[in-house]
Structure 1
């Protein structure tokens, strides 16, 4: 079996150089098996910026959807009951969809790193 160094992360939808950099830093100290485990966990949790844009657009009609998707349940409930903070919060999320995805992906990378280190 060929080493896991071919950088399989390049195939992820909408990956940015910044995201690729922090993933490479997170996996640098992991063994090959741990990197595979990290990859499986991270790709299952990761949200691409394009997906987040779609969630934010749908969030105009279902307030808070984008916040529920990224695990911010409290903000999702607040958006739901205030119609996306009178649509202002939803529009801000729509503009900042890449940042929402990047923040979520950083947390997912951290969680995946911890799981990979414990798993092997």
Structure 2
């Protein structure tokens, strides 16, 4: 069984169900005691900015700010370097606790022993 789960979410408001699934799985894994690393890429990059998660709505799903907060409290949240640059997002702009890192860090995480990776 994997002792770490790396989740890469590429969807945002453009694909709300896929986006919500990624955040939900991350939050449930954290609550279950699994080490979680959530990567925000593509359109999900916007959720690294303060207040953006609160703008997301999907009926019958947990509020995105709550899910993000739970992952931040016990896991790692990373904003893709290139995705941030394409959106003019700097480290000073993001929610406290979210780091900006690139593919080298992502590959290092997913190639470690005991890691399971998911892409949404």
Q: Is TM (by shorter chain) over 0.5?
A: no
Larger fraction in strand? 2
TM-score normalised by length of structure 2:
0.24
Give the number of the structure whose alpha-carbon radius of gyration is greater. Answer: 1
